Amino acid sequence: MKVLVVEDEKGLAESITDYMNKEGYLCETAGTFREADERIYLYQYDCVIVDLTLPDGDGFQLIQTLKKLLATTGVIIISARNALEDKIRGLEIGSDDYLTKPFHLSELNARVKSLIRRRNFGGHTEIRFREIRVNPSSRKVYVNGQLAVLSRKEYDLLLYFLSNIDVVLTKVSIAEHLWGDNIDSADSLDMVYSHIKNLRRKLLEKGGSDYVSSVYGIGYKFGEP
Amino acid sequence: MKLLAKTNRIYLAFSLAIYLFAGLAFYQVVRILIYNEVETRLKVEKRDFEAYLKQHKAWSDTTYFVENKIDVVPVGRQTRLSETFIDTLIQNRYDQELMPFRQLTFYVPIKGVMHRVSIRKSLIQSYQLIEVITVTMAACLGLLLLGTFWFQGKLSGRLWLPFYESLSRIKRFNLASATPLQLDKPEINEFRELNEVLRKMGDKMQQDYRSLKEFTENASHEIQTPLALINAKVEQLIQSEKLTETQTRWIEEIYQASRRMARLNQGLLLLAKIDNQQFTDNQAVDLAALLAEKLGAMDEVLHHKRIAVKIGNLVPFAIQLPPALADSLVTNLVNNAIKHNHAEGRVELRSDGKNLSLGNTGHALVSNPERLFERFKKEGSGPDSVGLGLAIIKEICDTYGLEVQYDENNGWHRFGISRKVNEE
């Protein structure tokens, strides 16, 4: 899987690249419009993460070029502008997702994964982690072959965990993933806790192991115990 | 007081003073002239009288048949020899009317006896003359006064016209709009210069205003990227397994602070955008339904805080609002109702089509309710609150012709939204 990160802020591009590399993607960066333009002509990418405001050009133009060259490439816009018009325009010219800065790397990662899943397999692929099996098209979760009945939020939470295995996820990022930006954080953090508790219980009930661990109160991690 | 009224008033007072003074002076001059004339004639008659005496050595009244013309009285002793002019009134022979006369009195010896001789001349005609002259004068001066007054008014009105025109345009001038201040170029230098200066000032003000707004917006945008960087680095940092608990707590605090800053920034940016009227895609939205929907979406939080929601009679409350702002409005209202609620509290939504109200139970307000809608006014100092929610609600309402009110009653906090009564 090849991912191109088009972002002029070096530190941010680096963080995204690091994160993606850890997830097993081959990740490249382009800091300017020209560089990015050159790269999309030369190579093929599965997913391109584009910042809209580049020092020497407009991200939208880049997406348009990209879509002309290879329509199957997934596009995720990351922008400091939180304007509805930008989101609509982005979708109109063929981008798949829009993230407003500042965003969580784990969120970006989850979106990239979901995008690639949709692109490559039309969503008809199962996500497996040990004894846990998730069918994204039917939104069903099986543990040891047994169906675990999860609420919508619990399902979203599990998928978020599965997209970020062995990664510490902050409570805030989980809350925002589940309820969006507008959620009031004080209440939502409690709610995150109760959802995690329920998810854990339901997975354990079906004979699964406990993969969720709490990290110093800052967040949670899903992975090998 | 208007400038024209003021000048007219001063002009009127001044002209009246001049008019009175001129009138009196004229009257005096005419009077003096007439007296001089009468007195000269009286002196001539005195010479005639003396000539007659010299010739005839005696005096007979018959020479003068006209009544009261001359009066010759013998006086015993020689009292005064000087001649004097006096004004006197003498009764008319026929109708007993008192008539004004000028009288010259002098003393003359006739046949060795000193006589006092008084020669008189009627002033009646002179007085009539004075009257006629005075009246004519008064009329002329009055007409002149009225005429100049009228002319002055007309002239000032016309001269000051460019000034009033500029004034009304400045009044209509809107700093926030894109149209510059348009002023005429009148032919009067002073006004032209004034307009020139005003136009420059207007342009400068608009430019400053615009750049200030752009600054707010750009600054907010620029802040988002470093914030994203902090967030990303923190996220990477917490993946490290060598962190101690204290270090994690510090990181957590950095993280919280950056989140808070991001929210703050987004709030300010939204306010700036509403201010700049960057939302233009007005659509008909039913706020009552949106609020009910939002309460439904927040079901989980409400459930978590054990808050009971009661949706009363819900008549649609349709208004024109950009959808993004409608969403922001209801989100902030609902968030506010939940945040400032206590556990096992209640939320109540009502709409009668004219007034939309969202009430919530909660602790009594600590801060001044009048200042509740100001930016950065916070009830308590929760780290998750940035104090912009109500300011955003107010800004949206103000910009789109709505009125938002807050009242507190019996532990209920109610926000009412109604359409602003058109002031024009």
Q: Please report, for the domain that includes residue A151, its CATH number.
A: 1.10.10.10
Q: Is A148 exposed, middle or buried (0-12, 13-18, 19+ CB in 10 A)?
A: buried
Give the best-scoring range by mean pLDDT among A87-91, A188-192, B58-62.
A87-91
Cα gap B9→A60, rounded to integer Å: 70
Same domain, A114 and A49: yes
A41, A69 contact by CB (below 8 A):
yes
Q: Is B222 on the interface with A (CB under 8 A)?
A: yes
Q: Note the pLDDT tens digit of each residue in B282-316.
A: 889 898 899 998 888 888 888 888 889 888 888 88
Which of A121, A154, A173 marks a domain boundary?
A121
Q: Note the pLDDT tens digit of each residue in B313-351.
A: 888 888 888 888 898 899 888 888 888 888 888 999 988
Same domain, A74 and A50: yes
Same domain, A7 and A117: yes
For chain A, give the percent of residues with pLDDT over 70.
96
Same domain, A93 and A136: no
CA terminus-to-terminus distance, chain A: 28
Structural domain total, chain A: 2
Q: Kindly report the nearest CA distance between residue B173 and chain A, in angstroms.
A: 30
Q: B300, B335, B341, B393: best mutation site toward chain A, by most A Cβ within 10 Å? A: B300
Which of A94, A121, A148 marks a domain boundary?
A121
Q: Note the pLDDT tens digit of each residue in B212-268.
A: 877 877 787 788 888 889 988 988 888 888 888 888 888 888 888 888 888 888 888
Is pLDDT at A77 greater than 90 in this prediction?
yes
What range defines the domain where residue A95 resides?
A: 2-121
**Among B264, B219, B262, B212, which Cα is nearest to B376's?**
B264
According to DSSP, the residues that pair with B330 across neighbouring strands are none
Which of A121, A154, A169 marks a domain boundary?
A121
Q: Is A84 on the interface with B (CB under 8 A)?
A: yes
Neighbours of A88 (CB within 10 A): 11
Same domain, A49 and A132: no
Residue among A12, A167, A218 whose CB faces B228 most closely: A12
Nearest CA in chain A to B343: A187
Same domain, A147 and A97: no
Which tokens in the block code for residue B128? 């009539």
Query: In chain A, what residues touch B256 (CB-CB under 8 Å)?
Result: 172
Mean pLDDT of chain B: 83
Same domain, A66 and A137: no
Nearest CA in chain B to A191: B304
Query: In chain A, what residues touch B323 (CB-CB under 8 Å)?
Result: 84
Is pLDDT at A45 greater than 80 in this prediction?
yes
**Among B38, B30, B28, B51, which Cα is nearest to B104's?**
B38
One-letter amino acid of B414: R
Q: B191-273 has which CATH code? A: 1.10.287
Please state which CATH class domain B281-419 belongs to: alpha beta
Q: Is B41 exposed, middle or buried (0-12, 13-18, 19+ CB in 10 A)?
A: middle
- In chain A, positions 144-183, which contact chain B (CB-CB < 8 Å)? 153, 167-168, 170, 172-173, 179, 182-183
Q: Can you give the residue ranges of every domain in chain B? A: 3-143, 191-273, 281-419
Domain CATH code at residue A92: 3.40.50.2300
Q: Note the pLDDT tens digit of each residue in B40-58.
A: 988 888 888 888 888 887 7
Cα gap B195→B168, rounded to integer Å: 12
Cβ A80–B228 below 8 Å, yes or no?
A: yes
Same domain, A132 and A96: no
Same domain, A55 and A84: yes
Neighbours of B212 (CB within 10 A): 11
Neighbours of B408 (CB within 10 A): 14
Q: Note the ipTM here.
A: 0.84
